[in-house]
Structure 1
């Protein structure tokens, strides 16, 4: 059945009117959730860390997310002072394409758990490093600090990160994601007046994440920052 002219057109031809799109985002994403050992025993809010894995952990088996990073550490019994959410990227996707879904996941975690919204942190490796830059650029007001590892971003949009403390990590010998991808982001954030640190591992190749996530100083640095 055809539509009437009133149904097909928002206005008469040659006119411009104001309209509004109203829709709800429907997303589905598996994730791992870690709660500190003392969660629920203390009347307090907890810092939240979101961890974004690399391309090799995509798919529908969420256990693969424990291969690296904070998700690996807590799966091995580490006790960490954060609520940690570690989502799994769909097999055919890429973290920078999933910023809306990740934002919705943050909303859900904040609503459901005792999260200190002034201390929400973001980190990721390789594809997750790209995702860290992309998600923080999309929602800079949400994060107290970010730590992208062997990733990259959009230098032309780096000004959106100028108020987000950032610690970037990369291996000098990385032959998968060139260190230039991190360098250009660091320089762009500095140029915008941002607070950025850059750690280069001279002997490291693409795996610059093990020594980063094994370093207690990273977590101390996160906890030293809260949103103003």
Structure 2
């Protein structure tokens, strides 16, 4: 299951194709990458974000939606521009004053996501023990949230440019869910200083199967490099749980 970012929200079928803009579905359908997965890509409703004058939502049009070509593949979008220099940062120590989730995120449709997973598992020939979860930006926060609330549903998770709050970590550590966290060193949207506290909490809880990759040269769009490569998908497939009572390799 892939959870998109804030800019791909939509209300109704007319806006559904915005989920094609990034992530594994973009790689598989637009870039014709051979991925051995059933990709579940739900869409988060607007919840009023279309009224907030956010430029990347207000100014988007259907021309922004990539098209699959009969022959070949289209060029990838340009990388996000950034004026930030390569940097080192300290982590935020007191996360008690930091909200664990962004407003009106994937937690608002938590039950719907589980229903979607249940229906896919009933309707297709799938290995329930090989259900993986990833998401970018807002979807990264959603990935942490869903893994915390439903830790026995996912064999491994990969949040991309979305940090996890320490308050979410106990169920993830208890279930020993493999985690691969990605961040951008030049990200001006989601500051890297917030990523460390949650990962430190996992370590304190005895969770050893955690990776943290910081692309120091990248801005917010780390996902392009992550999802266009092969490493994440191979890593996912190296883990298998039992679904309702997951046991990780």
Q: Provide TM-score, normalisation by structure 1.
A: 0.76
1:63 corresponds to: 17
CA distance in structure 2 between the aligned counterparts of 1:181 and 1:105, rounded to whole angstroms: 31
Contact kept? 1:167, 1:199, Cα under 8 Å:
yes
Higher relative contact order (CA 8 A, sep 6+): 2
Larger Rg: 1
Aligned length: 179
Cα-Cα RMSD:
1.1
* C-alpha separation in 2, matches of 1:191 and 1:100: 30
**From 133, 147, 152, the counterpart of 1:136:** 147
Uncovered stretches (5+) of structure 1, i.e. residues with no partner: 1-49
Which whole-Å CA distance do the structure 2 matches of 1:117 and 1:54 have between them?
25
- How big is the shift at 1:160? 1.0
Offset at residue 116 of structure 1 (A): 0.2
User: Counterparts of 2:185 and 2:124 in 1: how far apart (Å)?
Assistant: 39
1:211-222 alignment to 2 at 5 Å? 211-222=225-236
**Cα distance in structure 1, aligned partners of 2:4 and 2:136:** 6
1:84 pairs with 2:35? no
Q: Distance in 2 between matches of 1:74 and 1:205?
A: 23
Q: Is the 8 A contact 2:4 2:22 kept in 1?
A: yes
SS at match of 1:106: helix
Q: Does the aligned pair in 2 maintain the 1:171–1:200 contact within 8 Å?
A: yes
| TM-score, scaled to structure 2 | 0.70
Contact 2:184-2:219 at 8 Å conserved across structures: yes
Bigger share in strand: 1
* Equivalent position SS for 2:132: strand
SS of residue matched to 2:142: helix
Task: Tell me if structure 2 keeps the 8 A contact 1:119–1:143.
Answer: yes
Deviation at 1:126, TM superposition (A): 0.0
Matches within 5 A, 1:109-188: 109-162=120-173, 163-188=176-201
